[in-house]
Amino acid sequence: MRRILNGWLPIYAVAYIVFLYLPIVFLPIFSVNTSPVPQFPIADFTLKWYRDLPRTPALLDAAWNSLVVGVSAAVLSTVLGICAARAITRYRFPGRRAVNGLIMAPLVLPEIVIAISMLLIMLQAGLSLSLFTVVLGHILVCIPYSVSVLTSGFEGFDRSLEEASADLGETAFGTFRRVTLPMVAPAIISSLLVSFTISLDEFIMAFFLAGTEATLPVYIWGQLRFAAKLPSVLALGTLMLAGTFLLLTIAEILRRRAARRAQTAGIALA
């Protein structure tokens, strides 16, 4: 029995990975196909769909909008995430679990409910829909991820370093800037990258809150109605996939480096 399980599990794991990557693989394949109909066999190899991309003004606008929204949401959600993660890891206080639960709640709520409730309150408050409202929405969605990444980063390092600094006469701010910040910088960068990636791909909030200014996913959603536009969308998707993959690899390397650094610092102190 045991042997059967041990033999089958790796095969299952590989099959599962194939299932996970299956839809991703077809994006690049059909984005270099001359035929706009995505079916096998591939007609011929072409890069024309990629060449057309920079000549589409609506796409460039959407890409710029996504960049602006992504950077703003990433910075602000990371700042808010730092406050929360720091308070959660540093102090034990009454209501800690409840507060943490509330901050993480967007993770387990149907996104459409968050989106329409934000839409309602913004219209009630007389805010006109714009990229600003999208940023507000994206911050809310990104905070749980930022807090998760930052909490594990803040937990990773030895607190005696902070105490040592305080004992040696540093102020609370000085300790944070000279001891804590350098230790947690990788987690912060990682949080920035993760929230930027989420914002870049986020569709539902943007769809409800964007008004007339489209972000990339909203632009893609509009294009999906036209079958002839499919290859350009696939080309765009391939580029976005490559960009995302790059950002995530950087985030992962930084996370590992942070974990290693925290470990060595711990060993050095012991």
Partner 1 sequence: MTTAAGGSVPYRARRGTTGTVLQSETARAYALISPTLLYALVLLVVPILVVIAHSFWTQDYLTIDRTFTLENYRVALTEPIYRDLLMRSLVISLLVSLFTVVLAYPIAYFISFHGGRHKNLWLFLITVPFWSSYLLRVMSWKVILGYNGVLNSGLMAVGIIDEPSTAFLYNSTAVVITLTHAWAAFAILPIYVSLEKVDRTLIEAATDLGDGPIRRFLRVTLPLSIPGVISALLIVMIPTVGDFVTPRLVGGKDGVMIANAIQAQFGKASNWPLGAALSVTTMAVVTAMAAASVLVLRLLMRLGR
Rounded Cα distance between 262 and 184, Å, is: 9
Q: Which is nearer to partner 1, 47 or 113 (CB)?
A: 113
Q: Is the peptide bond before 186 cis (omega within 30 degrees of 0)?
A: no
Site membership for partner 1, residue 194 (CB under 8 A): yes
Q: Is 68 in the site for partner 1 (CB under 8 A)?
A: no
56 counts as binding partner 1 under rule CB under 8 A = no
Q: Which of 134, 147, 189, 210 binds partner 1 (CB under 8 A)?
A: 147
170 token code pair? 């540093």
- Exactly one of 54, 177, 252, 260 binds partner 1 (CB under 8 A); that residue is 252
- Among residues 209, 233, 239, the alpha carbon closest in space to that of 221 is found at 233
Instruction: For CA atoms 130, 131, 134, 139, give the dihedral sign.
Output: negative
Of 112, 168, 181, 269, which one interacts with partner 1 (CB under 8 A)?
Answer: 112
Q: How far is the CB of 168 from partner 1 (least distance, A)?
A: 15
- Copy the structure tokens of residue 91: 């102090």
**E strand spans, 155-226:** none
> Which stretch, 45-53, 55-63, 135-143, 178-186, contacts partner 1 (CB under 8 A)?
135-143
| Count, residues near partner 1 per rule CB under 8 A | 96
| Binds partner 1 by CB under 8 A, chosen from 45, 124, 267, 268 | 124
Site for partner 1 contains 73 (CB under 8 A)? no
**Residue count (the chain):** 270
Residue 48 contacts partner 1 per CB under 8 A: no
> Residue 29 corresponds to which amino acid?
I
User: Contacting partner 1 (CB under 8 A), which of 58, 60, 226, 245?
Assistant: 245
CA separation for the pair 121, 132 (Å, rounded): 14
Question: Does 227 contact partner 1 by CB under 8 A?
Answer: no
Binding-site member from 72, 78, 180, 197 for partner 1 (CB under 8 A): 197
Do 141 and 76 form a contact (C-beta atoms < 8 A)?
Answer: no
Residue 33: helix, strand or coil by DSSP? strand
By beta-carbon proximity to partner 1, the closer residue of 17 and 47 is: 17
Q: Which residue in the set 184, 186, 208, 231 belongs to the binding site for partner 1 (CB under 8 A)? A: 208
Q: Find, among 195, 197, 202, 234, the residue nearest to 216 by Cα.
A: 202
Decide if residue 145 touches partner 1 (CB under 8 A).
yes
Closest distance to partner 1 from the beta carbon of 239 (Å): 11
C-alpha span between 133 and 75 (Å, rounded): 16
CB of 16 to partner 1, least distance (A): 5
Does residue 177 touch partner 1 according to CB under 8 A? no
Neighbours of 86 (CB within 10 A): 16
Tell me the two tokens of residue 219: 């632009």
**Interface residues for partner 1 in 17-46 (CB under 8 A)?**
17, 19-24, 26-27, 30, 37-40
Question: What is the distance between the alpha carbons of residues 85 and 64, in angstroms, rounded to a whole number?
Answer: 31
Determine which residue in the list 61, 132, 221, 261 makes contact with partner 1, applying CB under 8 A: 221
